[in-house]
Chain A
Amino acid sequence: EPEVTQTPSHQVTQMGQEVILRCVPISNHLYFYWYRQILGQKVEFLVSFYNNEISEKSEIFDDQFSVERPDGSNFTLKIRSTKLEDSAMYFCASTYRGYTEAFFGQGTRLTVV
């Protein structure tokens, strides 16, 4: 069964450093998303991406965040200067169409120290 894959599974970084989280969405999907989940809290939407541009973003997704689809398979989330409060699980998801069911990756646990 096709799946969304994320790397790395765990990333530890120092405050102020840049991190790039990587995702390979399901190959024929057209819409891509990033979510995050701070420990013990809800899953929160960050950004959606379609046709090589951001289609929607939340208040969390400020100038420190960016997304990119550098080639035909990868979808990345970059945090420019990490803060302690960026520590969370980050989930990538994809959908075939915007309104079809979302498939999520297993997440990257980001720890900022």
Chain B
Amino acid sequence: DAKTTQPPSMDCAEGRAANLPCNHSTISGNEYVYWYRQIHSQGPQYIIHGLKNNETNEMASLIITEDRKSSTLILPHATLRDTAVYYCIVRGNTGGFKTIFGAGTRLFVKA
């Protein structure tokens, strides 16, 4: 699975959009970009995933660059409850199916 690089921490004001970047320059054609988050010590929570098109669901939007070497997770109106560690994970649809977690980005949403 391709490696990802994320900033260790970010701040965001409550009510503003949180834009979390991720670099995955070695991503291969059959690998998807997944985002999860972990609030305090709870179990990781799936947010969204995509292959090459931008995706949106009720939680977030995922913007993937045309060359697929980077992506941005957007939380459109961050709330205090969005304070968490956000993980960008690249994962293929063949072979091993484990999810490999890095250190992620610790997002602090401030009032």
Listed in ascending order, the chain A residues whose CB lies under 8 Å from chain B are 4, 31, 33, 35, 37, 42-45, 48, 55-56, 58, 89, 91, 93, 95, 98-99, 101-107, 109
Given known pairs A99-B91, A101-B34, A101-B49, the reply for A107 and B97 (CB within 8 Å) is no
- The verdict on B92 contacting chain A, using a C-beta distance below 8 Å, is yes
Q: A42-B102, A101-B49 are in contact. Are A31 and B44 (CB under 8 A)?
A: no
CB distance from B45 to the nearest CB of A (A): 7
Interface residue SS majority, chain B: loop
Which residues of B are at the interface with A, using a C-beta cutoff of 8 A?
32, 34, 36, 38, 41-46, 49, 91-94, 96-103
Contact of B41 among A58, A89, A98 (CB under 8 A): A89
> Is B43 within 8 A of A106, CB to CB?
yes
| B97 adjacent to A48 (CB under 8 Å) | yes
Residues of A contacting B46 in the complex (Cβ-Cβ under 8 angstroms): 101-104
* Contact A99:B92 (CB < 8 A) given known A42-B101, A45-B100, A48-B97: yes
B43, A105: Cβ atoms closer than 8 Å: yes
Query: What are 22 sample pairs from A and B whose C-beta atoms fall under 8 A apart?
Result: A4-B43, A42-B101, A42-B103, A43-B44, A45-B99, A55-B97, A56-B97, A89-B41, A91-B43, A91-B44, A95-B97, A98-B93, A98-B97, A99-B32, A99-B92, A101-B49, A102-B36, A103-B46, A104-B43, A107-B41, A107-B42, A107-B43
Q: How far is the CB of A69 from chain B (nearest CB, A)?
A: 17
Say yes or no: B100 contacts A99, CB within 8 Å: no
Chain A nearest CB: distance from B22 CB in Å? Answer: 16
Provide the bound-state CA to CA distance between A33 and B91, in Å: 15
